[in-house]
Amino acid sequence: MKRTIKTIGIIATMGIMLACTYLLGTTQAETITEIQTVTETKEVIPAGYIPLNDDIVDMNTIVDFTATEYCLQLYFEDGSGYFWER
């Protein structure tokens, strides 16, 4: 008899839990939509503008390279090169 009451209690508890989870899953909260307008000022840099310093290499002028474990050799269009040692 005790076992039957325990089994009925477990089944009833699981049924109540299933009903509650179903109700929570189908309930939807009110959706609040806010529209914000963002105004930004961006600086426009012309295409192809690259300020070349002594420490910057223009990668568009490289025609070939040689790489080893210890160094990188870059070859430019004008015949010059750049050697970078590790």
Are 57 and 72 in contact by the 8 Å Cβ rule? The answer is no
Alpha-carbon distances, residue 70 vs 5, 54, 73, 83, 85 (angstroms): 80, 23, 10, 11, 6
**Which contiguous run of DSSP H or E holds residue 19?**
helix 2-26
What rounded mean pLDDT belongs to the chain? 84
Tell me the domain boundaries of the chain.
2-34+57-85
Q: Which two tokens stand for residue 28?
A: 């939807």
Are 35 and 18 in contact by the 8 Å Cβ rule? The answer is no
pLDDT (tens digit per residue) in 43-68: 777 777 766 666 777 788 899 999 99
What's the chain's length in residues?
Answer: 86
